[in-house]
Structure 1
Amino acid sequence: MELCRIRTFQKSLVLLLHAPSRSFRTLGRLRSPLTGSGLLPPRRPPLLLLRSFASSITPGTGRDLDLGPPPAPLAPPPPDELASDDDAYYHEHILEATQEDKSRLVPVKAYFPCTSINLKSLQSQNSFNVIPPTSRATNYVVLRYYDVKGDPEGFKAGIIDESHCHYMVVFQYGSIVLFNVSDHEADGYLKIVEKHASGLLPEMRKDDYAVVEKPTLETWMQGGLDFIILRDLSIDGIRTIGSVLGQSIALDYYIRQVDGMVDEFTDINRGMEKTGTFTMERKKLFQLVGKANSNLADVILKLGLFERSDIAWKNANYAQIWEYLRDEYELTQRFGNLDFKLKFVEMGLA
């Protein structure tokens, strides 16, 4: 009986090691809408910030964040400041997409610094900046900040210039997505959420994206490499894009958690190969079972990975954006990979 169990366990390990293990896409499958040519380079993986959420904040800036930080730069960095040839390739295509005078580039940044955020207290302390919801979704909140210092005359006249608006989409499960915020100003926005967060992580991942707003676009939307072109970026567009990016960066965290469990079982399997016995302590066995179950529950229930966006239900245009981004970030495939690994762990524990 013990020998049968060991063989079954080893067979599952072989299957797992030959299964796709990417947490983010490794091959660009989409054709560039700008060039219409061949395969594109892979999407850049999210940047791993080796610091805690709390320590990533720049304290003592003395800035009134209700007025909003200075506006984000609306042009990508020059090619000589880019880190790689791939970055230069992305940069070239974004530049091409923003050639028209009326086009506007909106940088988008997704973070996963913690596993829970108290949205009620966040809204209570930032009520002036909260944008009222238009759907029944209760697991996120959208906040808007206006850069009064960057546009004092327009603010006095009551004329809102979108280029001076900065948006933050905050999800209960821990993701934060920033729109029109530069890298050096992002910490100030993360600090707003910090006091309402729990389950702070020692590592925080950041994923970069971009929206090109082009009023002259003939179609409603057009996909690009690490960016999307829209005729108009509305609040519902921000909600839709934020929901997919928030789920993607959170899913990456859970995939890494499961990968850690698989590594542990790989070590156990090697030990079984040498000794022929299963030596894991009973308490640790139960802890791993609980961790596997809670990871799967969090992905399905907290992230709402398979719940269609309310906005996408009501409007076909936003449904198109939602479906395109889910495919671009391979949410379904990545969940399938995670589920396969969890089943492997569960079978080993049975």
Structure 2
Amino acid sequence: MEVSSRLQSLLRPLLLCRSCAAGRAFQTLALRSPPPPPPPPPRPPSSFLLRTRRLRPPHPYGAPSRLLFHRPFASVSPAPAPVPGRDHLNSKDQGPPLPPAPLPPPPPEELASEDESYYHEHLLEVAQENQSRVVPVKAFFLCTSIDLRSLQSQNSFNVIPPTSRATNYVVLRYYDVKGDPEGFKSGVIDESHCHYMVVFQYGSIVLFNVSDHEADGYLKIVEKHASGLLPEMRKDDYAVVEKPTLETWMQGGLDYIVLRDLSIDGIRTIGSVLGQSIALDYYIRQVDGMVAEFTDINRGMEKTGTFTMERKKLFQLVGKANSNLADVILKLGLFERSDIAWKNANYAQIWEYLRDEYELTQRFGNLDFKLKFVEHNIRFLQEILQNRKSDFLEWLIIILISVEILISVYNIIQEQM
């Protein structure tokens, strides 16, 4: 017992020294260890990039400058990704923030669709600012002839009675019952729910206040009475802004016209010019094809020095050129002034403005010049074919005379023998 008590008394100071040394070691490690890392900084919010789209330059003939403005489009680009291994650093060690990622350029077809949608949105904004109504107008060239009598007989309820002696077109009105059922029942017609269709005998159709997805339904109504349907239908877009507070009777714009009031006579006047324009575009393309064909013939004659066209093919080209010229002058009535324009000076102003806007006179002048070129080539080729025929007849006569001489010589020889 005494031995064990002595051993404990000797070992106790050694154990106390070791525990003190260990404590001091832990304190030293605690003082030398770095402080805990600060919490990571909050992620910066996504940055916005603004792109500005500009409208086309203003129209040189009286386009209102207040309608041309810049419209910002906001597109969100993703925030820069955090760099690994930098979250534990202090704010002093962090570099400058990364720039936002650039936006890829949109494809051309998306730009075209955006331009068209932006044009319609621009018109709607103009209408809301001026407390006016935008009426979209669509012109189609469907075929070469339409039977107006059968069209009127099957749609007599929708036909608007004519106010002039013109018989080459008919105006039909349709009401959107789903859009305004109460007004239809009460008999109070709201013009914003009325759809108008102007059908011309030469194949043009002009729709007023009809959306794109509804246009096919109206065209199918006319297709039942059409003949000579085209493989590719022509289309043209326009717009009418109805502004009751307009100081003047009308005001021109870029692909639209501002009117104080859009009446049935205004629809007839605008429809007549748009129908002629879209039809004239079709005939110009037809004549361009003939010019290209004669150009190829002339180049072939230049290289080979011979002419190989058949007489039947040439006569077909002659008939096509004459029929195109007759259709433009007689069917379209390109130089006939509208009866409504004769009676009212206000509608005459609209008629003249639209004809200048669509350059109908200049375009017909170009068409007439091309037709004269075609006629000159036709006359030249006809002379070549006529000379060929004359040469053939001359050789045939020579051969017949030679045969007759041979027969006479043979008979003389037989008589002498």
**Shorter chain as normaliser: what TM range?**
0.7 to 0.9
SS in 2 for 1:178: strand
Q: Evaluate the alpha carbon distance shift between residue 311 and residue 145 of structure 1 in structure 2; reply closer, same or farther with a 3 A threshold.
A: same
Could you tell me which residue of structure 2 aligns to residue 126 of structure 1? 155
Q: Evaluate the alpha carbon distance shift between residue 326 and residue 309 of structure 1 in structure 2; reply closer, same or farther with a 3 A threshold.
A: same
125, 129, 139: which one aligns with 1:110: 139
SS in 1 for 2:112: coil
Q: Evaluate the alpha carbon distance shift between residue 95 and residue 163 of structure 1 in structure 2; reply closer, same or farther with a 3 A threshold.
A: closer
CA–CA distance in 2 between the matches of 1:204 and 1:116? 14
Could you tell me which residue of structure 2 aligns to residue 200 of structure 1? 229
Could you tell me which residue of structure 1 aligns to residue 217 of structure 2? 188
Q: Evaluate the alpha carbon distance shift between residue 28 and residue 34 of structure 1 in structure 2; reply closer, same or farther with a 3 A threshold.
A: closer
CA–CA distance in 1 between the matches of 2:335 and 2:58? 23
Could you tell me which residue of structure 1 aligns to residue 376 of structure 2? 347
- Compare CA radii of gyration and give the structure with the larger one: 2
221, 225, 230: which one aligns with 2:259: 230
Could you tell me which residue of structure 2 aligns to residue 297 of structure 1? 326
CA deviation string 1:28-66 (max 9, x = no partner): 86345321899xxxxxxxxxxxxxxxxxxxxxxxxxxxx
CA–CA distance in 1 between the matches of 2:349 and 2:162? 21
Could you tell me which residue of structure 2 aligns to residue 334 of structure 1? 363
Q: Evaluate the alpha carbon distance shift between residue 99 and residue 148 of structure 1 in structure 2; reply closer, same or farther with a 3 A threshold.
A: closer
Task: Give the AA of the match of 2:64.
Answer: L
- 8 A Cα contact 1:34 1:93, kept in partner: no
Does 2:169 align with 1:140?
yes
181, 185, 188: which one aligns with 1:152: 181
CA–CA distance in 1 between the matches of 2:58 and 2:247? 25
Q: Evaluate the alpha carbon distance shift between residue 156 and residue 84 of structure 1 in structure 2; reply closer, same or farther with a 3 A threshold.
A: closer
C-alpha deviation, 1:221, in angstroms: 0.3
SS in 2 for 1:138: coil
C-alpha deviation, 1:281, in angstroms: 1.0
SS in 1 for 2:255: coil
283, 299, 319: which one aligns with 1:270: 299
Identity fraction in percent: 88
- 8 A Cα contact 2:143 2:229, kept in partner: yes
Question: Displaced runs of 4+ in structure 1, greater than 4 A?
Answer: 84-93
Could you tell me which residue of structure 2 aligns to residue 167 of structure 1? 196
User: What TM-score results when the alignment is normalised by the length of structure 1?
Assistant: 0.77
Gaps of 5+ in 1: 1-26, 39-79
CA–CA distance in 1 between the matches of 2:348 and 2:184? 34
C-alpha deviation, 1:227, in angstroms: 0.5
CA–CA distance in 2 between the matches of 1:317 and 1:101? 22
Tell me how large the CA RMSD over aligned residues is. 2.2
C-alpha deviation, 1:90, in angstroms: 4.2
CA deviation string 1:119-173 (max 9, x = no partner): 0000000000000000000000000001112111111111000000000000000
- 8 A Cα contact 2:59 2:253, kept in partner: no
CA–CA distance in 2 between the matches of 1:320 and 1:300? 23
CA–CA distance in 1 between the matches of 2:111 and 2:187? 39
CA–CA distance in 2 between the matches of 1:186 and 1:37? 28
C-alpha deviation, 1:99, in angstroms: 3.4
Gaps of 5+ in 2: 1-56, 69-108, 380-417
Could you tell me which residue of structure 1 aligns to residue 406 of structure 2? none
SS in 2 for 1:279: coil
Q: Evaluate the alpha carbon distance shift between residue 330 and residue 36 of structure 1 in structure 2; reply closer, same or farther with a 3 A threshold.
A: farther
CA–CA distance in 1 between the matches of 2:243 and 2:110? 26
CA–CA distance in 1 between the matches of 2:111 and 2:252? 23
CA deviation string 1:243-289 (max 9, x = no partner): 00000000000001000101100110110110122322111111111
User: What TM-score results when the alignment is normalised by the length of structure 2?
Assistant: 0.65
Greater helix fraction, Structure 1 or Structure 2:
2
Could you tell me which residue of structure 2 aligns to residue 52 of structure 1? none
CA–CA distance in 2 between the matches of 1:345 and 1:28? 38
Does 2:65 align with 1:35?
yes
CA deviation string 1:311-335 (max 9, x = no partner): 0000000000000000100101111
Further displaced range: 278-287 or 230-239: 278-287
CA–CA distance in 1 between the matches of 2:197 and 2:236? 15
CA–CA distance in 2 between the matches of 1:129 and 1:332? 34
CA–CA distance in 1 between the matches of 2:244 and 2:291? 48
CA deviation string 1:207-240 (max 9, x = no partner): 0000000000000000011100000000000000
CA–CA distance in 2 between the matches of 1:99 and 1:151? 21
Q: Evaluate the alpha carbon distance shift between residue 346 and residue 180 of structure 1 in structure 2; reply closer, same or farther with a 3 A threshold.
A: same
CA–CA distance in 2 between the matches of 1:173 and 1:195? 15
Does 2:221 align with 1:220?
no
Further displaced range: 235-244 or 146-155: 146-155
